[in-house]
């Protein structure tokens, strides 16, 4: 990364559909996937005479998000009309927020647990609320130039979160998006489903290139059409390389003639960005305050109330897991990134077991693997934190080794049994220490060459004995076998 | 004819007493319409059968002793920019000629809730933009007092329908004087309520921060009845006021002790016809004779009202009317013809080998927008849309729209200060009485100046009422405007009623025998 002869500069505009039952300015459902134009009314189809009424819930969710993004919340915010003609925009203006958005100047901290980049605060320019447009479907296959409009989506609340150009690599951009998505999930304000369009990302990217004559900047490109976080990362990686090549070829820089901002679309199939057709003149949206809506005032005590109600957010949670349970940053990151429900599971388990590290290992290896295999969430996981804790206690006490415990775990998963019942079902019984001693004595006497090797300092040789012990008695704990054998060998030598 | 000029108050009494049925009454007004609307053209659409059926239903409910609404069985008319479910709502525009709303305006829903019988929809200037009802795509309405004259506008159909005895009540809308000025031109009473008093939901928007629905009637007492039904908070209109509605009918007869009437010197300046000034000053003297104190006041920023209004209203209109583009509903240009034209142009450019000109050729979508709007809107609407689009454009916003908003606040402040000293402000409604058809149609500026005394009421969001106060030498009605503080419709109605108890201007009837045009 540092070998590149340039610095990448990226800012992201993220549109998030809010999880409201109804639309931004009417009571139509926001449910995805209904038959075209069945979730519409005079308001969201822009019928003559209809009037918008603000959805309080959407505003509250936006406020919550803005506060969680450490934004300033002005006391006064208003609605503006952004005017442009498009067939899927029923009123030919979009109700949005122009000069007095509901929030501004925040930040989101991102870091990479593997240390790929230094932790940083990505500054947020603003987060504002607006209504979504409908969807145009162009029947290009038939060649009839036939277009159909579905207005089900028209009027869905959208929160637009605009970052400063603080991101310095496609990977940072990806991390920012992951962190933002996680935050939104913790807040419960959006399901962030990119397939259904509930989260959309546009990126602005250019390069700062040091030259003998000083630093130069390449023209800014807005990249669109990226339909997954992975696509964002790839598109930006491609675009950075393309811009460097273009600069080497043409020397064109930002602000020079022809160096104005352009728009390119990501072609996921071809894995390239392509220029998008645009008007030569810059668009004039003729914003003005929407006289149909009243401005909204937000009192400081309301912001305080929202802040208090946020709950523990990912960044704080990672810190707490590390401090309280002694796990490292990487482990805390894995657990927290799985969402609040898994964190709750982990915390319950760690508290019951009294060993955060052990709980973390089991959650990350066994629990998460099962969730992935079964493609389920922790809420559908059949083993409760209490039951798993019971199992881990047995391991802690030395009643079970990890491998036997995994067998029990498997049995609990498939049968839904308690650890004790699963143990019984598998025929696992607690082995008396006397029994182990007896077994070890026999094995040692049968294997003098191993005893000799161990005496010669080759403790590894014990492995074969442990294997034999397991064959004789599957319930024998390898650690105990090892410990007893070493003791016995020591007495033998003295 | 006999019942056609009865007051709504009286008619409701007769209906309640069983002296007349709603069907009889409805038929009476339908007959009057049939006799005179060929000349007057107050109505764009009549639904006689539906009205009679509804009247019969209400009569039946009355006979059965069922509870009835406050306007039960009373016929009335609605301006054709208010949505009625299942009925065309044209705004007198070719653009909406075939638009049938799937919902009722709140005002209409309230009328139906009150068991009123809607006779039909009245004519207006296209999208309520105009002061004469001549910009209606479906032809002008004529003034019943002189059919060679305009009825005023934009609620010209509403005012004319009352003057011609075609309805006892009419619902209008007022953005810059559209209720008060035609009321004045037609010798009837019209009230523009405080902004927010009546829900705008279902009123096809012209300028959202100025539009207000209100009653037209032949007396203040009748207007009170209608306002009572129309007024009130509506959760479907964010700008509607959540303030209780007083009982206008109950208080209208109460005298106004110690009433102070303000007379603004700015209302009697250049441009005011001498005849109008005399009649208005006489009207003020009537108040004086009734015990009111008269006080001279000043509204220093009123000279900017026209300029301010003709920035703000077109700006909002340009946005509100953007949706009429031929895509969703309403008028769409002849598509095959448009495509043929476009293809021909394209082939020509292709043949000429001019890639730059080809690149500049608009898309078929843009072409459809352009042609639909060019063909669907009339000249006055286009003029205002262009004015607003220009004023909101990058680089002009601050100088026009933002400045206009600032002046608007100053105009409101003038009123706030005036109302610390006076209870109502009396003055002319318009600088002239009704003029001849066509007289100002080609001189928009002259027409705009006619709104001189009415627009500031809208800019300040105040209530204003227009009542008849005399006639010109040519026997055309003259109106008196009373303006009041916010939410003081009650005071205006009482003051107007007081005047109408002492005068008989509002009881005069037009000849209506004049030759057909």
- pLDDT for residue B514: 44
> Looking at the partner chain, which of A51, A92, A284 has a beta carbon nearest the beta carbon of B322?
A92
Cβ contact, residue pair A53, B329, below 8 Å: no
- The torsion angle over the Cα atoms of residues B34, B37, B41 and B45, rounded to 10 degrees, is -20
- pLDDT for residue A282: 60
CA pair distance B512, B475, nearest whole angstrom: 13
Would you say residue B163 has pLDDT above 50?
A: yes
- pLDDT for residue B517: 40
**A44 backbone dihedrals φ, ψ, rounded to 5°:** -80, -5
> Looking at the partner chain, which of A45, A53, A287 has a beta carbon nearest the beta carbon of B235?
A53
Task: Judge whether A485 and A462 are in contact, CB under 8 Å.
Answer: yes
Would you say residue A103 has pLDDT above 50?
A: yes
What's the rounded mean pLDDT across residues A413-442?
A: 81
- Average pLDDT, rounded, for chain B: 95
A145 touches chain B (CB under 8 A): yes
> Both tokens of residue B163?
């003057």
Cβ contact, residue pair B327, A87, below 8 Å: yes
Q: What angle do CA A10, A11, A17 make, to 5 degrees?
A: 135
CA distance A339 to chain B (A): 38
**pLDDT band at residue A242 under the 50/70/90 scheme:** very high
Among all chains, which residue has been given the structure tokens 């012990």? A469
What's the rounded mean pLDDT across residues B88-109?
A: 97
- pLDDT for residue A140: 61
B142 and B22, same domain (yes or no)? yes
- pLDDT for residue B1: 47
- pLDDT for residue A313: 93
> Looking at the partner chain, which of A45, A91, A288 has a beta carbon nearest the beta carbon of B401?
A288
- pLDDT for residue B218: 98
B392 found inside a domain: no
The one-character DSSP state at B82 is B
Ordered by where they begin, the domains of chain A are: 7-300 (no CATH), 310-425 (no CATH), 433-493 (1.10.10)
End-to-end CA distance of chain A: 60
B401 touches chain A (CB under 8 A): yes
- pLDDT for residue B74: 98
- Per the annotation, the verdict on B178 as an active-site residue is yes
B94 and B57, same domain (yes or no)? yes
Cβ-based contacts of A284 with chain B (< 8 Å): 393-394
Total domains present in chain B? 2
Which of B374, B406, B434 terminates a domain? The answer is: B374
Annotated active-site residue in B21, B154, B161, B302 = B154
B151 and B290, same domain (yes or no)? yes
Would you say residue A427 has pLDDT above 60?
A: yes
What's the rounded mean pLDDT across residues A305-328?
A: 93
B293 and B353, same domain (yes or no)? no
B22-51 residue pLDDT tens: 999 999 999 999 999 999 999 999 999 999
A-B CB pairs within 8 A amount to: 99
- Per the annotation, the verdict on B456 as an active-site residue is no
Cβ contact, residue pair B201, A51, below 8 Å: yes
Task: Judge whether A82 and A93 are in contact, CB under 8 Å.
Answer: yes
What's the rounded mean pLDDT across residues B484-490?
A: 98
B45 and B176, same domain (yes or no)? yes
- pLDDT for residue A278: 65
B355 and B471, same domain (yes or no)? no
Contacts of B198 (CB under 8 A, 6+ apart): B107, B212, B213, B214, B227, B230, B231, B232, B240
CA distance B423 to chain A (A): 29
Cβ contact, residue pair A284, B393, below 8 Å: yes
> Both tokens of residue B376?
């669907």
Cβ-based contacts of B83 with chain A (< 8 Å): 47-49
CATH number, position B73? 3.90.1300.10
CA pair distance A71, A66, nearest whole angstrom: 5
B384 found inside a domain: no
Smallest CA-to-CA distance from B184 within B480, B509, B497, B511 is with B480
Would you say residue B282 has pLDDT above 70?
A: yes
Model-level pTM? 0.90
CA pair distance B80, B157, nearest whole angstrom: 9
- pLDDT for residue A1: 45
To test the contact with chain A by mutation, choose from B325, B390, B397 the residue with the greatest count of A C-beta atoms within 10 A, namely: B325
CA distance A39 to chain B (A): 15
- pLDDT for residue A141: 61
> Both tokens of residue B272?
């005011």
Q: What is the largest CA-CA distance in chain A?
A: 102
What's the rounded mean pLDDT across residues A397-410?
A: 82
What's the rounded mean pLDDT across residues A140-161?
A: 84
B353 and B459, same domain (yes or no)? no
**A91 backbone dihedrals φ, ψ, rounded to 5°:** -90, -5
**pLDDT band at residue A398 under the 50/70/90 scheme:** confident
A252-265 residue pLDDT tens: 999 888 888 899 99
Segments forming the whole domain that contains residue B498: 8-265+277-299+418-507
Would you say residue A90 has pLDDT above 70?
A: yes
Cβ contact, residue pair B323, A92, below 8 Å: yes
Task: Judge whether A24 and A58 are in contact, CB under 8 Å.
Answer: yes
Would you say residue B179 has pLDDT above 70?
A: yes
Would you say residue B516 has pLDDT above 50?
A: no
B515 found inside a domain: no
Task: Judge whether B145 and B127 are in contact, CB under 8 Å.
Answer: no
**pLDDT band at residue B122 under the 50/70/90 scheme:** very high
Which of B374, B404, B437 terminates a domain? The answer is: B374
A286 touches chain B (CB under 8 A): yes
CA pair distance B174, B340, nearest whole angstrom: 43
> Looking at the partner chain, which of B81, B82, B236 has a beta carbon nearest the beta carbon of A53?
B236
To test the contact with chain B by mutation, choose from A27, A44, A49, A147 the residue with the greatest count of B C-beta atoms within 10 A, namely: A49
CA distance A124 to chain B (A): 26
What's the rounded mean pLDDT across residues A5-16?
A: 95
Annotated active-site residue in B79, B121, B192, B440 = B79
B472 and B431, same domain (yes or no)? yes
B147 found inside a domain: yes
- Per the annotation, the verdict on B154 as an active-site residue is yes
Would you say residue B433 has pLDDT above 80?
A: yes
Cβ-based contacts of B322 with chain A (< 8 Å): 83, 85, 91-93
What's the rounded mean pLDDT across residues B419-440?
A: 96
- pLDDT for residue A192: 81
Would you say residue A431 has pLDDT above 80?
A: no
B517 found inside a domain: no
B339-361 residue pLDDT tens: 999 999 999 988 988 888 888 88
B66 and B198, same domain (yes or no)? yes
B317 found inside a domain: no
CA distance A158 to chain B (A): 20
B22 and B107, same domain (yes or no)? yes
B86 found inside a domain: yes
Cβ-based contacts of B237 with chain A (< 8 Å): 51, 53
**Of A115-119, A247-251, B449-453, B497-501, minimum mean pLDDT range:** A115-119
B219-249 residue pLDDT tens: 999 999 999 999 999 999 999 999 999 999 9
Scanning B159-178 for CB atoms below 8 A from A yields none
Cβ-based contacts of A290 with chain B (< 8 Å): 208
Would you say residue A76 has pLDDT above 90?
A: yes
CA distance B324 to chain A (A): 8
To test the contact with chain A by mutation, choose from B392, B398, B459, B461 the residue with the greatest count of A C-beta atoms within 10 A, namely: B392
Residue A82's DSSP bridge partners are A94
Would you say residue A199 has pLDDT above 70?
A: yes
- pLDDT for residue B490: 97
Task: Judge whether B416 and B300 are in contact, CB under 8 Å.
Answer: no
Q: Find the closest chain A residue to B362 by CA distance.
A: A279
B358 touches chain A (CB under 8 A): no
Q: Find the closest chain B residue to A83 by CA distance.
A: B319
**A451 backbone dihedrals φ, ψ, rounded to 5°:** -55, -40
According to the 3-state scheme, what is the secondary structure of A376-416? CCHHHCCCCHHHHHHHHHHHHHCCCCHHHHHHHHHHHHHHC
B20 and B119, same domain (yes or no)? yes
B2 found inside a domain: no
B307-341 residue pLDDT tens: 999 999 999 999 999 999 998 888 999 999 999 99
Cα Rg, chain A, nearest whole Å? 30
B465-476 residue pLDDT tens: 999 999 999 999
- pLDDT for residue B513: 62
B430 and B355, same domain (yes or no)? no
B124-139 residue pLDDT tens: 999 999 999 999 999 9
Cβ contact, residue pair B392, A288, below 8 Å: yes
- pLDDT for residue A144: 62
Cβ-based contacts of A45 with chain B (< 8 Å): 328
Smallest CA-to-CA distance from B235 within A29, A26, A290 is with A26
Contacts of B384 (CB under 8 A, 6+ apart): B129, B313, B314, B317, B318
> Looking at the partner chain, which of B203, B207, B238 has a beta carbon nearest the beta carbon of A294?
B238
């Amino acid at each position: 990364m540092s070998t590149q002869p340039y610095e990448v500069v990226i800012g992201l505009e993220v549109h998030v559909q809010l999880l409201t039952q109804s639309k931004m300015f009417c009571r139509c459902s926001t449910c995805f996937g209904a038959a075209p134009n069945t979730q519409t009314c005079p308001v969201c189809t822009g019928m003559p005479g209809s009037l918008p009424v603000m959805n309080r819930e959407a505003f509250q969710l936006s406020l919550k998000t803005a506060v969680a993004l450490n934004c300033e919340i002005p006391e006064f915010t208003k609605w503006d009309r952004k005017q442009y003609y498009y067939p899927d925009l029923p009123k030919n203006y979009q109700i949005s927020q122009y000069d007095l958005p509901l929030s501004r100047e925040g930040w989101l901290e991102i870091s990479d647990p593997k240390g790929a980049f230094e932790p940083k605060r990505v500054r947020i320019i603003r987060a504002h609320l607006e209504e979504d447009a409908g969807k145009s479907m162009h029947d290009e296959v038939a060649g009839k130039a036939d277009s159909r409009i579905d207005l089900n989506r028209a009027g869905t609340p959208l929160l637009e979160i605009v970052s400063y150009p603080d991101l310095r690599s496609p990977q940072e951009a990806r991390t920012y998006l992951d962190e933002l998505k996680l935050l939104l999930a913790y807040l419960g304000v959006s399901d962030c489903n990119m397939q259904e369009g509930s989260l959309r990302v546009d990126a602005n990217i250019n390069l700062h290139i040091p030259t003998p004559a000083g630093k130069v900047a390449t023209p800014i490109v807005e990249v669109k059409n990226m339909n997954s976080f992975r696509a964002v990362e790839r598109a930006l990686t491609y675009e950075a390389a393309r811009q460097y090549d273009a600069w080497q070829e043409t020397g064109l820089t930002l602000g020079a003639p022809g160096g104005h901002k352009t728009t390119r679309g990501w072609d996921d199939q071809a894995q390239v960005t392509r220029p998008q057709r645009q008007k030569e003149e810059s668009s004039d949206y003729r914003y003005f305050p929407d006289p149909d809506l009243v401005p909204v005032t937000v009192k400081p005590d309301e912001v305080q109330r929202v802040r208090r109600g946020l709950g523990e957010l990912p960044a704080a949670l990672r810190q707490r897991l590390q401090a309280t349970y002694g796990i490292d940053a990487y482990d805390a990151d894995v657990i927290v990134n799985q969402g609040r429900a898994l964190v709750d599971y982990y915390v319950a388990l760690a508290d019951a077991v009294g060993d955060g590290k052990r709980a973390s290992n089991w959650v990350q290896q066994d629990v998460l693997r099962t969730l992935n295999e079964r493609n389920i969430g922790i809420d559908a996981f059949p083993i409760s934190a209490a039951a798993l804790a019971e199992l881990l206690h047995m391991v802690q006490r030395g009643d079970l080794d990890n491998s036997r415990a995994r067998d029990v775990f498997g049995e609990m998963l498939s049968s839904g049994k308690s650890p004790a019942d699963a143990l019984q079902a598998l025929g696992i019984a607690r082995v008396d220490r006397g029994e182990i001693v007896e077994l070890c004595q026999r094995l040692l006497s049968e294997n003098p060459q191993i005893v000799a090797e161990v005496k010669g300092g080759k403790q590894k040789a014990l492995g074969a004995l442990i294997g034999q012990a397991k064959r004789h008695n599957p319930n024998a704990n390898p650690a105990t076998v090892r410990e007893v054998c070493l003791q016995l060998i020591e007495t033998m030598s003295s | 004819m006999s019942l056609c000029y009865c007051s709504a108050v009286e008619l409701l009494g007769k209906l309640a007493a069983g002296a007349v049925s709603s069907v009889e009454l409805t038929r009476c007004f339908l007959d009057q319409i049939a006799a005179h609307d060929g000349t007057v053209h107050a109505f764009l659409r009549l639904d006689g059968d539906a009205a009679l059926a509804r009247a019969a239903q209400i009569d039946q409910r009355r006979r059965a002793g069922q509870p009835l609404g406050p306007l039960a069985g009373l016929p009335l008319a609605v301006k054709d920019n208010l949505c009625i479910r299942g009925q065309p709502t044209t705004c007198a525009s070719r653009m909406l000629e075939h638009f049938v709303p799937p919902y009722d305006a709140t005002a209409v829903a309230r009328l139906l809730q009150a068991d009123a019988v809607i006779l039909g929809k009245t004519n207006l200037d296209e999208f309520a933009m105009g002061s004469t009802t001549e910009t209606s795509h479906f032809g002008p309405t004529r003034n019943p007092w002189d059919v060679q004259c305009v009825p005023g506008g934009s609620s010209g159909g509403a005012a004319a329908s009352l003057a011609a005895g075609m309805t006892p009540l009419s619902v209008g809308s007022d953005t810059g004087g559209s209720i008060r000025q035609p009321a004045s031109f037609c010798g009837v009473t019209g009230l523009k309520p405080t902004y927010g008093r009546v829900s705008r939901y279902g009123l096809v928007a012209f300028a959202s921060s100025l539009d207000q629905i209100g009653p037209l009637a032949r007396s203040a007492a009748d207007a009170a009845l209608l306002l009572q039904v129309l007024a009130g908070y509506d959760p479907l209109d964010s700008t509607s006021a959540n303030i209780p509605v007083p009982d206008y009918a109950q208080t209208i007869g109460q005298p106004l002790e110690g009433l102070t009437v303000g007379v603004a010197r700015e209302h009697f300046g250049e441009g005011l016809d001498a005849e109008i000034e005399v009649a208005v000053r006489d009207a003020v003297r009537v108040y004086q004779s009734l015990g009111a104190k008269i006080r001279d006041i000043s509204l220093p920023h009123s000279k900017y009202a026209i300029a301010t209004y003709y920035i703000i209203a077109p700006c909002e209109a340009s946005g509100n009317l953007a949706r009429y583009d031929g895509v969703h509903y309403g008028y769409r240009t002849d598509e095959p013809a448009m495509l043929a034209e476009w293809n021909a142009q394209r082939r020509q450019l292709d043949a000429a080998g001019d890639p730059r000109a080809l690149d500049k050729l608009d898309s078929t979508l843009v072409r459809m927008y352009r042609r639909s709007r060019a063909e669907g809107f009339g000249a006055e609407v286009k003029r205002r849309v262009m004015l607003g689009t220009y004023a909101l454009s990058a680089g002009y916003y601050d100088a026009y729209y933002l400045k206009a908003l600032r002046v608007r606040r100053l105009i409101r402040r003038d009123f706030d200060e005036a109302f610390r000293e006076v209870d109502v402000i009396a003055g002319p409604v318009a600088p002239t009485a009704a003029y001849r058809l066509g007289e100002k149609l080609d001189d928009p500026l002259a027409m705009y100046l006619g709104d001189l005394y009415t627009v500031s009421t809208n800019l300040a969001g105040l209530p204003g009422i227009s009542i008849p106060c005399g006639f010109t030498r040519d026997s055309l009605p003259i109106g008196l405007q009373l303006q009041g503080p916010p939410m003081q419709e009650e005071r205006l109605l009482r003051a107007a009623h007081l005047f109408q108890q002492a005068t008989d201007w509002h009881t005069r009837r037009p000849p209506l025998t004049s030759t057909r045009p």
